[in-house]
Structure 1
Amino acid sequence: MDVTTEPETSSGASSAPAPAFVDDRLAHWALATPDAEAMTYGDRTWTWAAWNDRVRRAAGGLQALGIGRGDVVAVLDKNHPACVEISLAAGSLGAANAIVNWRLAGDEIDYAVNDSGARVLVVGTELRPAVDAIRDRLRHVERIIEVTPDGADGDEYEAWLAAASPVSRPAEVSPDDVCLVMYSSGTTGHPKGVLLTHANLVEHTLNAHDGWAFEPGDKSMVAMPLFHVGGSSYVLFGIHDGIPSVMTRDPDGASLAGAILAGANRTFLVPAVLAQVLQAGPDAVRLFGALRTFTYGAAPMPLPLLRAAMESWPETDFIQVYGLTEVAGVATHLMPEDHRAAVAGEHPERLVSAGVPIPGMEVRIVDPATLADVPTGEHGEIWLRSQQVMQGFLGRPEETAKVLVDGGWFRTGDLGKVDDGGYVFVEDRIKDMIISGGENVYSPEVERVLSEHPAVLEVAVIGVPDATWGETVKAVVALAPETRASEEELLAWCRDRLAHFKCPRSVDVVDALPRNPTGKILKRDLRAPYWADRDRAVN
């Protein structure tokens, strides 16, 4: 099955010149609307001219430290405009910013910084002790620059910027130069550095922005972590359209509420945040109703939660996105009209789809064994092709060759199907597929059924070893506050709604499901006790 969506011009597209580099639009707005608001962070706000000057000074400061084309710098901090400034500045020199997950432990920070080869490390004050503890292990780092959350007196980063001379992009820098190194989630083994170029990110900005471009008066809330592709790609949308951004340091309720009170009305967040808002009471629900667009992704959205959100905020446009770091972010989207149509009863099954390919994105569904395309509606591995596809994995040519195949296709490792309308359904990770007695069980189908139970807050379905069937289905659930449900009740719920072979044989009730720093459920951790010391490990 092969699906292709042709690029279209978004109705809200700006008349500004088409960008080739990630900092092109920032420079444009600095000339076109120099005194307009560009970025707000805490108590500080910068105009387009001021923000562009900071980026140009950061480029000059990096150049003075010997950073040039092909080099890597790194940022380790919670969300901070300095991270975006370093990304744009390094990119303008033909260098790349490796954004390190600030939630990592010392050994993991050591791994990411060393793996990236970063020569300069910008670190937040809160994270400085962790870096000092491993300083002697950071083999490539020549300079550490500390940045404070509020730009207070003594902020080393601010002093470094002020002392630097602004520089422009050297002529030899190419749109095909890597400008961002994003580390994959690392649900198995060490994370891999994904190499994204200017061309990848510009293409993503144009294509993923389709159908919901900002309008005058809008403000973009940047709350997703910048170490996540959903943060560092999304922040470019406001820059592209010349719309102010309000960045939160943390994605907590108070920070999000503060951004909305500051005028932010468009955002991208993970579904878990939505659940927290709905549980926070009527005042929070009322406040979040000011959002014109709520884009969600990076983790599955339970149907009861989505329906509750759409009922609570009928005027808000909901957009679901499916994507991967390796394609710079979004690959498919389920648009607001699809959400409303599905709730109204028109193709209700598409509410659990990932939507259709964004412009410029081709999708194939391929039999992973034969590498032949499968018919419409049948399951296979999702393959993607686009100008958004990464250059490869940093320093891992063999790993790159496994996923980037002839013809420019990227093998996602995700299992799914495409219906007769071109809607993509992401069913599972191939390595997560449960094979019980020769039958394939797709865990999201079982998870969706269990998530409909009124007591279930979140659920993960895994395969556990079985002497007779090879694997059997097991569910791990966390219950909503002040609710109760027994294992037998949950099993009976599934038996009434699923084929027998798909039903869990057992259910564990836990306080919370394990997640990695980007919020993805760690099924590996749930499986580990069952697959230890076995020849085959499902992870």
Structure 2
Amino acid sequence: MSEFTHVAEVLAHWEARRPDALALRYAGVDRSWAQLAQRVRRNAAAQRAAGLQPGDRIAVLDLNHPSCLELTLACAQAGTANAVVNFRLAPAEIAYVINDAKVRVLFVGPEFAAAVEALRPTLPTLERVIRVGGPDDEYEGWLAASEPDPAIYPAAPDHCFLQLYTSGTTGFPKGAMLTHRGMLAHSRNLAATQDYGPDSRVQVAMPLFHVGGTSTALVALTSGASVFLMRTPDPAAALAMLESERITHTFYVPALMAVMNDVPGAGARDYSSLQALCYGASPMPMPVLRRALAMFPGVLYQVYGMTEQSGAVSLLPPADHADPAVAHRLLSAGKPITGVEIEIRAPATGERVPTGQPGELWVRSEQRMGGYWGKPEATAAAFTPDGWLRSGDGGHMDADGYIYITDRIKDLIISGGENIYPAEIERVLAEHPAILDVAVIGVPDERWGEVPKAVVVARPGASIDAHEVVAWCRERIAAFKCPKTIDVVAALPRNPTGKILKKDLRKPYWEGRERQVV
């Protein structure tokens, strides 16, 4: 991969070398590198014609569409930034993100146009809404009205061109300012581990508002690969595309893979072109992983990452998935990728802890974001002066350098002086044949201070016997870790990116007590 220093260099590089090669395919429409480069230059010119200045924010509220990638690349050229909005947010949350970013121009897909129209009176900085796709498309006309402008804003390496909002399980999301230096470092570091190149065919199935979606696309484009963009992560369509388009690289979240396992005929397809199937962004239940290993042997990579580091920071390669002698590593997040440092520090003191001892994961790399938009105090709290990011994730590192994520630091349960990590209990409960979904929280206890409680969702047609489930746990983990009570619910509360809202589960039990529920 070339040593790019500015994202705008990527298109010029591959346009010069492979002008007629496929850069992007979406819904049966192909764009060569020359065509994509011209559209991005028109986009940058149209942004300037609209009066947008370097540092201004535009936004996209849409399902996956090529316009989002074109806008992001054009922002890199014009010095602006694309604040991609999570389309799963509630209207009030959408308004918050648009207002927080001070968005001047919003690009909206057909499914969200009516919602935006209703929100317009609450969006004071918004000057224009441009509809993308469908019978009322305005985007193509907006592009056509401007001649391609090759001028590139001389952005500093740490200039933000992409602003992705962290999902957050408390309060409103924060805008992570992703930079030329950070995103290019991520592309370089990840590509080095998975043999990306001009012949790669990369499926982008995850939403572009998520770092897993946009960073996958940028790794592909930076490598000169072809991007195959899906509008939505439909499991059957994604599997069909792996076969029909001879996909070599893709990224999925575990929830999508769980559904894929049940797609009729999924195991009979030809996935022989696949070289790397990355999964991450949430814990992978072992039953789902076992079935995925059977369907996709030799190509699974677990990745652990975060928006604040532009994507992946550690990786568990296929060899560690396949070797029964190191089966325990399936519970790990692998080792740091090239260019990334990870250490385990004591949350209270920031001191390094001994190998094998629990603490907080600290991460340092060139991939780091520029900070949280408009929130200097939150940025200062996240980073140390020497560049370490406090991840908020608890875990440990073994003697071989493998990282094990136990839980969010704030989700730790301290019962009678013992540290209990809910994720450890959740892994055991996820194996129970009657349990579809599970979350473990700490609830107050007069003797022990707090004890684990499991909140579970039953599989269709199954019934759950709480005593039997506790007995199941006692056979597999220490008695003090086992949930003392089991609640059965219809569904677990989740935020728009699918993370379980444990604060909502804990709140009824801790109201009026000294402990702060966050």
- Report the TM-score when normalising by structure 2: 0.96
Alpha carbons 1:72, 1:97 under 8 Å: kept: yes
1:184 and 2:205 are equivalent in the alignment: no
The one-letter amino acid of 1:144's match is V
Of the three residues 406, 411, 415, the one matched with 1:427 is: 406
C-alpha distance in structure 2 between counterparts of 1:458 and 1:22, whole Å? 41
Distance change >3 Å, CA 65–CA 215, structure 1 → 2? closer
1:208 and 2:190 are equivalent in the alignment: yes
Match of 2:72 in 1: 87
Match of 2:295 in 1: 312
1:23 and 2:8 are equivalent in the alignment: yes
1:286 and 2:286 are equivalent in the alignment: no
Of the three residues 338, 341, 366, the one matched with 1:387 is: 366
Distance change >3 Å, CA 360–CA 164, structure 1 → 2? same
CA shift at 1:527, angstroms? 1.8
C-alpha distance in structure 2 between counterparts of 1:332 and 1:68, whole Å? 36
CA shift at 1:515, angstroms? 2.2
SS in 1 for 2:407: strand
C-alpha distance in structure 2 between counterparts of 1:406 and 1:380, whole Å? 20
1:487 and 2:459 are equivalent in the alignment: no
Of the three residues 441, 450, 473, the one matched with 1:462 is: 441
Alpha carbons 2:457, 2:492 under 8 Å: kept: yes
Match of 1:223 in 2: 205
1:370 and 2:349 are equivalent in the alignment: yes
- Report the TM-score when normalising by structure 1: 0.92
1:256 and 2:238 are equivalent in the alignment: yes
SS in 2 for 1:181: strand
The one-letter amino acid of 2:438's match is V
CA shift at 1:258, angstroms? 4.5
How do residues 1-12 of structure 1 correspond to structure 2 at under 5 angstroms?
Answer: none
**CA deviation string 1:472-491 (max 9, x = no partner):** 10112223344444111110
C-alpha distance in structure 2 between counterparts of 1:464 and 1:338, whole Å? 37
Match of 2:284 in 1: 301
1:142 and 2:127 are equivalent in the alignment: yes
Alpha carbons 1:432, 1:538 under 8 Å: kept: no
Match of 1:196 in 2: 178
CA shift at 1:253, angstroms? 2.3
SS in 2 for 1:134: helix
The one-letter amino acid of 2:493's match is P
**Larger RCO (CA under 8 A, 6+ residues apart):** 1
Select between 356-365 and 523-532 the one with higher mean Cα deviation: 523-532
SS in 1 for 2:212: helix
Match of 1:69 in 2: 54
CA shift at 1:256, angstroms? 1.4
The one-letter amino acid of 1:273's match is L
CA shift at 1:245, angstroms? 1.2
Alpha carbons 2:88, 2:497 under 8 Å: kept: no
1:125 and 2:110 are equivalent in the alignment: yes
1:445 and 2:445 are equivalent in the alignment: no
C-alpha distance in structure 2 between counterparts of 1:522 and 1:286, whole Å? 37
CA shift at 1:215, angstroms? 5.0
Match of 1:506 in 2: 485
Quote the RMSD (CA, aligned, Å). Answer: 1.7
C-alpha distance in structure 2 between counterparts of 1:205 and 1:169, whole Å? 24
Alpha carbons 2:198, 2:223 under 8 Å: kept: no
Alpha carbons 2:414, 2:449 under 8 Å: kept: yes
How do residues 28-177 of structure 1 correspond to structure 2 at under 5 angstroms?
Answer: 28-148=13-133, 154-170=136-152, 172-177=154-159
SS in 2 for 1:363: strand
1:324 and 2:298 are equivalent in the alignment: no
The one-letter amino acid of 1:517's match is P
SS in 2 for 1:364: strand
Alpha carbons 2:190, 2:337 under 8 Å: kept: yes
The one-letter amino acid of 2:284's match is M
C-alpha distance in structure 1 between counterparts of 2:20 and 2:217, whole Å? 20
The one-letter amino acid of 1:27's match is A
Alpha carbons 1:247, 1:259 under 8 Å: kept: no
Match of 1:521 in 2: 500
Alpha carbons 2:25, 2:228 under 8 Å: kept: yes
C-alpha distance in structure 2 between counterparts of 1:351 and 1:538, whole Å? 32
Distance change >3 Å, CA 254–CA 49, structure 1 → 2? same
Distance change >3 Å, CA 106–CA 444, structure 1 → 2? same
Of the three residues 249, 254, 257, the one matched with 1:266 is: 249
C-alpha distance in structure 1 between counterparts of 2:122 and 2:485, whole Å? 46
C-alpha distance in structure 2 between counterparts of 1:442 and 1:276, whole Å? 27
C-alpha distance in structure 1 between counterparts of 2:198 and 2:61, whole Å? 33
SS in 2 for 1:402: helix
The one-letter amino acid of 1:530's match is Y
Q: Between Structure 1 and Structure 2, how many residues are aligned?
A: 516
CA shift at 1:439, angstroms? 1.1
Distance change >3 Å, CA 362–CA 239, structure 1 → 2? same
Alpha carbons 2:451, 2:483 under 8 Å: kept: yes
Distance change >3 Å, CA 420–CA 230, structure 1 → 2? same
Alpha carbons 2:303, 2:315 under 8 Å: kept: yes
SS in 2 for 1:158: helix
SS in 2 for 1:392: coil
Select between 210-219 and 68-77 the one with higher mean Cα deviation: 210-219
The one-letter amino acid of 1:325's match is T
CA shift at 1:197, angstroms? 0.7
Alpha carbons 1:277, 1:285 under 8 Å: kept: no
Distance change >3 Å, CA 313–CA 176, structure 1 → 2? closer
SS in 1 for 2:393: strand
Match of 1:333 in 2: 315
The one-letter amino acid of 2:8's match is D
C-alpha distance in structure 1 between counterparts of 2:99 and 2:278, whole Å? 34
The one-letter amino acid of 1:177's match is H
C-alpha distance in structure 1 between counterparts of 2:8 and 2:500, whole Å? 34
